Amino acid sequence: MTSYDDAEQIIFPAGAATQTSAAEAAKGEWDAVIVGGGMAGSIVAEQLSQAGYKVLILEAGPGKDLDLAEYESYLSRFYGAVVKDNQSPYPFNPNARMPRSTDTMPVHPDTPRDDFYLVQEDKYCTDTTFTRVLGGTSMHWEGKALRMLPEDFDLQTKYGQGLNWPLSYDDLEPYYRQAEAELGVAAEVEDQTYLGMHFPKGYVFPMHRMPPSYLDQTVARGVDGMRVNLADDDYTLQVRSFPQARNGVPNAAYDGGKGFVPVGAVSTSQAEEGERCQGNTNCVPICPVQAKYHAGKTLAKALRKGNVKIVTQAVASKVEINDLDRRVTGITIKNYHSLDSDSYETYTVKGTVYILCAHAIENARIMLASDMQRMSRSKLIGCNLMDHAYLLSWGLLPKPAGTMRGTTCTSGITDLRGGRFRVTQAGFGVDIHNDGWGWATGSPYTDLVELVDKRGLRGPELRRTLGDQISRQLLLAFMIDLLPDRSNTVTVDDRYKDAIGNLKPVVSLKIPPYTMRGAAFARKLATDIFEKLGAEDKTHYDEKSYSAVEYDGQWYNILGGNHLAGTHIMGTDPTNSVVDHTQQSWDHDNLYLVGPGSLPSIGTSNISLTMAALAFRSSIHIARYLRAAKAPVTVGS
Amino acid sequence: MIQTIEELREYLYKGLQLEHATLPPYLTALYSLHPGKNSDARHVIRVVAVEEMLHLTLVANVLNAVGGTPNLTKRGFVPNYPTRLPAGPDDFEVHLRPFSPEALATFLRIEKPAQAASEEDRFVPMDWATLGLTSNGSAPSPDELAELEESGTVLGLVPGDPTQRFSSIGEFYEEIIRGINHLEDQARKVGKTIFTGNPAHQVTPEYFYSGGGDVIKVTGRDTAVAALTLVAEQGEGLHGAIFDNQDEIAHYYRFQQLEMGKYYQKGDEPGDPSGPDLHVDWSAVYPVKPDIKLKHLEGDPEILAAAKEFNQSYAAFLTDINLAYNGQPDLLLKAVWEMFRIRDSMNRLIRNPLTGQSGENAGPTFELWPSKEETP
H or E segment to which residue B93 belongs: strand B90-94
Amino acid at B41: A
Helices (H), A258-397: 296-302, 359-369
Best residue of A266, A269, A404, A405 to probe chain B, by most B CBs closer than 10 Å:
A269
Question: Cβ separation of B209 and A276 shorter than 8 Å?
Answer: yes
**Within a domain: residue A168?**
no
The pLDDT of residue B104: 97
Search chain B and give the residue with CA nearest A265: B211
Q: Test A268 with B247 for CB contact under 8 angstroms.
A: no
**Closest chain B CA to residue A268:** B276
- Stretch A82-88: mean pLDDT, rounded? 92
Rg from Cα positions in chain A: 24
Q: Is A181 on the interface with B (CB under 8 A)?
A: no
Return mean pLDDT, chain A: 95
CB interface of A with B, residues 40-99, below 8 Å: 65, 67-69, 72, 76, 79
B127–chain A nearest CA distance, Å: 40
Quickly state the pLDDT bin for B254 (edges 50, 70, 90). Answer: very high
Domain count, chain A: 1
Among the partner-chain residues B206, B216, B276, the one whose CB lies closest to the CB of A268 is B276
Residue A538 confidence (pLDDT): 98
Q: Residue B356 has what pLDDT?
A: 82
User: Using a CB-CB distance cutoff of 8 angstroms, which residues of chain A are in contact with residue B30?
Assistant: none
Residue at A259 is within a domain: no
- Alpha carbons B130 and A277: distance in angstroms, whole number: 48
| pLDDT band at residue B66 using 50, 70 and 90 as cut-offs | very high
Nearest by CB to residue B211, choosing from A5, A67, A264, is A264
Q: Is the dihedral of CA A107, A109, A114, A116 positive or negative?
A: positive
Phi-psi region of A456 (alpha: psi -120 to 50; beta: other; left: phi over 0): left
**Residue A175 covered by a domain:** no
Q: What is the mean pLDDT of residues A230-252?
A: 96
Residue A2 has pLDDT above 50, yes or no: no
Look at B111 and A158; give whichever has higher pLDDT.
A158
DSSP 8-state assignment for residue A249: -
Least CA distance to B47: which residue of chain A? Answer: A272
CB A272 to CB B246 under 8 A? Answer: no
Cα of B216 to nearest chain A Cα, Å: 8
On whether residue A434 sits in a domain, the answer given is yes
Contact in structure between B258 and B103 (CB atoms under 8 Å): no
Q: Which 3 state secondary structure label does DSSP give A140?
A: coil
Distance from CA of B53 to the nearest CA of A (A): 14
- Residues of A within 8 A of B47 (CB-CB) are 270, 272-273
**Which residue blocks in A415-572 are alpha helix, DSSP H?**
438-441, 445-449, 459-470, 513-533
Whole-number pLDDT of residue B303: 96
Chain A nearest C-alpha distance from B361 (Å): 24
pTM of the model: 0.93
pLDDT of residue A289: 93
Q: Identify residues of B whose CB sits under 8 angstroms from chain A CBs.
A: 36, 39-40, 43, 46-47, 50, 205-206, 209-214, 216, 226, 246-249, 257, 263-265, 275-276, 278, 336-337, 340
Q: What pLDDT digit, counting tens, does each position of B141-195 carry?
A: 888 888 887 777 788 888 888 888 888 888 899 999 999 999 999 999 999 999 9
Helix then strand count (H, E) for chain B reads 11, 7
Look at residue A636 in the predicted model and tell me its pLDDT.
59
Over the range A401-414, which residues count as b (16 or more CB within 10 Å of their CB) and which as e? Answer: bbbbbbbbbbbbbb
Secondary structure class of A279 (helix, strand, coil): coil
Q: Does B213 score more than 60 pLDDT?
A: yes
Name the residue facing B205 among A2, A9, A272 (closest C-beta). Answer: A2
User: Cβ A272–B336 below 8 Å, yes or no?
Assistant: no
CB contact under 8 A, B214 and A2: yes
Judged by a CB distance cut-off of 8 A, whether residue A253 touches chain B is no
Best to test chain A binding among B51, B207, B214 (most A CBs inside 10 Å):
B214
Q: How confident is the model at residue A153 (pLDDT cuts 50, 70, 90)?
A: very high
Kindly report the backbone phi and psi dihedral angles of residue A562, in degrees, each rounded to the nearest multiple of 5, phi listed first. 55, 30
Give residue A288's identity as a one-letter amino acid code.
Answer: P
> A497 pLDDT exceeds 50?
yes
* Residue B5 amino acid letter: I
pLDDT score recorded for residue A475: 98
Q: How far is B10 from chain A (nearest CA, A)?
A: 28
Residue of A nearest to B335 (CA): A278
The string of pLDDT tens digits covering residues A454-471 is: 999 999 999 999 999 999
Q: Which residues span the domain enclosing A528?
A: 210-242+389-480+512-557
| CB A45, CB A308: distance < 8 Å | yes
Answer whether B206 sits within 8 Å of A249, measured CB to CB: yes
pLDDT band at residue A281 under the 50/70/90 scheme? confident
More reliable by pLDDT, A9 or B70: B70
In a mutational test of the B interface, the residue from A3, A4, A77, A78 whose CB has the highest number of chain B CBs within 10 Å is: A4
CB B206 within 8 A of CB B333: no
Average pLDDT for A130-148: 96
At residue A19, the pLDDT reads 82
A402 touching B (Cβ < 8 Å): no
Task: Report yes or no on A598 lying in a domain.
Answer: no
Confirm if A399 and A472 have CB atoms less than 8 A apart.
Answer: yes
What is the reported pLDDT for B365?
A: 97
The pLDDT score that the predictor gives to residue A9 is: 67
- CB-based contact, A499 to chain B, within 8 Å: no
Q: Which of B318, B56, B42 is nearest to A289 (CA)?
A: B42
Q: Is the ipTM of this complex over 0.90?
A: no
Alpha-carbon distance A282 to nearest alpha carbon in chain B (angstroms):
15
Name the fold adopted by B5-260.
Ferritin (1.20.1260)
A5 at interface of B, judged by CB pairs closer than 8 A: yes
Q: Which H/E stretch holds residue A172?
A: helix A169-183
Residues of B in Cβ contact (< 8 Å) with A9: 247
pLDDT of residue A4: 37
Nearest to B145 by CA among B135, B159, B129: B159
Please report residues of A whose CB lies closer than 8 A to that of B41: none
Helices in chain B by DSSP H: which ranges?
5-21, 23-31, 39-65, 101-111, 128-131, 142-151, 169-189, 221-236, 251-260, 301-324, 331-350
Question: What does the alpha-carbon distance between residue A440 and residue A310 come to, in Å, rounded to a whole number?
Answer: 38
H-run or E-run covering A473: strand A473-480
**What integer best gives the mean pLDDT of chain B?**
90
